[in-house]
Amino acid sequence: MLDLAILGLLQEGDLHGYEIRRRLRDSLGLMANISFGSLYPALARLESAGAVRGIEAGTASPLATGAAMGSLSGELAALRSKRTAIARPKKSKKVYRITDAGRALFTELLAAPATSDDARGFSLRVSFAKYLTPELRVSLLQRRRTQLQDRLSEVCTAAQRNDLDIYARSVVDHTTQGVRQDIAWLDALLDAERERSRPDLTHPNPGGQTMAPVND
Amino acid sequence: MLDLAILGLLQEGDLHGYEIRRRLRDSLGLMANISFGSLYPALARLESAGAVRGIEAGTASPLATGAAMGSLSGELAALRSKRTAIARPKKSKKVYRITDAGRALFTELLAAPATSDDARGFSLRVSFAKYLTPELRVSLLQRRRTQLQDRLSEVCTAAQRNDLDIYARSVVDHTTQGVRQDIAWLDALLDAERERSRPDLTHPNPGGQTMAPVND
DNA sequence: CAATCGTTGTATCGATTCGATACATCTGTT
DNA sequence: AACAGATGTATCGAATCGATACAACGATTG
């Protein structure tokens, strides 16, 4: 799970641990911050497996810092205009770079059958869905949809019980509603996939962004 | 986290492990099934701490089975009318019963400051909110509201970035929307709390269920 | 009847993740 | 210069996960 997230982020540029954590929170939909107690062991794990290489980015190391800066420039520009501080990781410590083996591992993990109905793992895979083939994308979405639908019907039949107090009832209802909206979201994504697989229609570009190719 | 859940469920009747797992999924809003690898160690932990007592419910043990059956009767009636099977845990193994120390521990854990912004832990506490004082209920809800609001503003400012492809963008947007609805849910709960603390108005019982005392 | 399969139920193992904590460096403020 | 706060790496013990094994019972079917 974490390995997939790390490899996916490193595909788009070299990063150090702290920054990986931030991206996991902001760029991906992961609301719960992963802890450093997970992150650093995961990085060590990946490095010993040959999937990433740690590059020492000492105070005076122009080539490595250059690579790290490049992937951060956009964020820096945005933030510098608003606040004074926000120091970039100018001279911190280790910067990690993905290897060819790491890229292969990423592809393998991304297409893996997504064991169990884990919401975090699913969101993560959707975040990296541009690296999947259209077929794998659709099957990923449909698998999740089936899981949620099954869960929903189970919970709904069990939620007819009236022995719940107002608080427990409220939690169950709110959760149920959330699942329904997840399903609606999946339906929208699936519709978009079908739309994208059928390129030519009467209108060359009806909805503007809708027909655009996957933006990288 | 799990300890709190187990103690809360055992407050309403003796249960065995398998049934605790089911209730965690159905009655409480926890969508992700907790694993037995968490549950059984947690039960052992609580038993060695003196918070619960394991009662052997052998094939011929009328008193223990009686207690266990009592808490299951409603569910049984509902299910028996629909399907033929669904064997009740007639002669399984261990049934757990909460102790006085366990009840004290439950109260302590429930009122605890809810470290970190964990969604599962929060939902759990709301499910058991009827055991809290109105003041603690409101502070629990407001604390969570503040957390979500902070997260939301952080993510929103960071989500202005346009370097996300459509999939990552969709995940971020959907997550953001989910957080907004969580906040709206909290607002509704807080409104209900304020309503409940102000019993007398022009209409004695305007909304039917609204003014009813907390249903146990 | 007996073979078989699905459900219920308890239990444990290794690996992953969490939450807390420590510590070092850099930056801005007083 | 002293200090506080953000940035950054790292590790420890405990909680949790996912897989797996095992046993007993009920229902279906040959």
* DSSP string covering chain A: -HHHHHHHHHTTS-B-HHHHHHHHHHTS---SPPPHHHHHHHHHHHHHTTSEEEEE--TT-HHHHHHHHHHHHHHHHHHHHH-S-----TT-SEEEEE-HHHHHHHHHHHHS---S--HHHHHHHHHTGGGS-HHHHHHHHHHHHHHHHHHHHHHHHHTT-----HHHHHHHHHHHHHHHHHHHHHHHHHHHHHHHT----SSSSTTGGGGSPPP-
Of B74, B165, B189, the CB nearest to A163: B74
Q: Do residue A181 and residue B179 have CB atoms under 8 angstroms apart?
A: no
Residues B69 and B141 in one domain: no
Residues A104 and A155 in one domain: no
Query: What confidence score (pLDDT) does residue A187 get?
Result: 98
HSE-CB of A10 using CA atoms within 13 angstroms:
32
CA at B48, C1' at C23: how many angstroms apart?
A: 37
A19 belongs to a structural domain:
yes
Mean per-residue pLDDT for A110-114? 84
Q: For residues B142 and B183, is the Cβ–Cβ distance under 8 A? A: no
Residues A107 and A137 in one domain: no
Q: For residues A52 and A43, is the Cβ–Cβ distance under 8 A? A: yes
The enclosing H or E element of B53 equals strand B52-56
Query: What confidence score (pLDDT) does residue B115 get?
Result: 74
B9 belongs to a structural domain:
yes
Residues B101 and B22 in one domain: yes
Residues A180 and A100 in one domain: no
Q: Do residue A159 and residue B26 have CB atoms under 8 angstroms apart?
A: yes
Residues B103 and B168 in one domain: no
| B154-175 core/surface letters (b: 16 or more CB in 10 A; e: else) | ebeebbeeeebebbbbbbbebb
**Interatomic CA distance for residues A36 and A38, integer angstroms:** 5
B42 belongs to a structural domain:
yes
Q: Do residue B28 and residue A168 have CB atoms under 8 angstroms apart?
A: yes
Q: What is the DSSP annotation of B67-122?
A: HHHHHHHHHHHHHHHH-S-----TT-SEEEEE-HHHHHHHHHHHHS---S--HHHH
**Of A106-115, A178-187, B74-83, B135-144, minimum mean pLDDT range:** B74-83
Given CA atoms B4, B10, B16, B22 in this order, what sign does their dihedral have?
negative
Q: For residues B144 and B113, is the Cβ–Cβ distance under 8 A? A: no
Task: Tell me the residue range of the domain where A32 lies.
Answer: 2-111
Provide the domain count of chain A.
Answer: 2
Q: Does A155 touch chain B (CB under 8 A)?
A: yes
Residues B106 and B137 in one domain: no
Q: In which residue are the tokens 């609204």 written?
A: B210
A117 belongs to a structural domain:
no
CATH of the domain at A57: 1.10.10.10
For residue B27, the chain A residues in CB contact (below 8 A) are 158, 161, 164, 168, 172
A216 belongs to a structural domain:
no
Residues A205 and A153 in one domain: yes
Residues A145 and A89 in one domain: no
Q: Do residue A214 and residue B26 have CB atoms under 8 angstroms apart?
A: no
- pLDDT digits (tens), chain B, 216 positions: 999 999 999 999 999 999 999 999 887 877 788 999 999 999 999 999 999 999 976 543 333 333 344 344 434 333 333 333 333 444 567 899 999 999 999 999 999 877 777 889 999 999 999 999 999 999 999 999 999 998 888 878 777 777 889 999 999 999 999 999 999 999 999 999 999 887 666 665 554 444 445 555
Mean per-residue pLDDT for A83-92? 43
B124 belongs to a structural domain:
no
For residue B192, the chain A residues in CB contact (below 8 A) are 166
B126 belongs to a structural domain:
no
Mean per-residue pLDDT for A69-81? 39
Closest-CA distance of chain B to residue A168, Å: 4
Nucleotide nearest to B15 (CA to C1'): C9
Residues B107 and B150 in one domain: no
Q: Residue A25 — very low, low, confident or very high, per pLDDT cuts 50/70/90?
A: confident
CA at A34, C1' at D16: how many angstroms apart?
A: 14
Residues B65 and B140 in one domain: no
Of A155, A160, A165, the CB nearest to B214: A165
Q: For residues A24 and A13, is the Cβ–Cβ distance under 8 A? A: no
* Nearest CA among B28, B18, B36, B29 for reference residue B86: B18
* Nearest CA among B46, B1, B29, B9 for reference residue B131: B9
Nucleotide nearest to B38 (CA to C1'): D16
Residues B105 and B148 in one domain: no
Q: Which of A111, A141, A174 is the last residue of a domain?
A: A111
DSSP assigned state of B51? S
B70 belongs to a structural domain:
yes
CA at B84, C1' at D17: how many angstroms apart?
A: 34
Query: What confidence score (pLDDT) does residue B154 get?
Result: 81
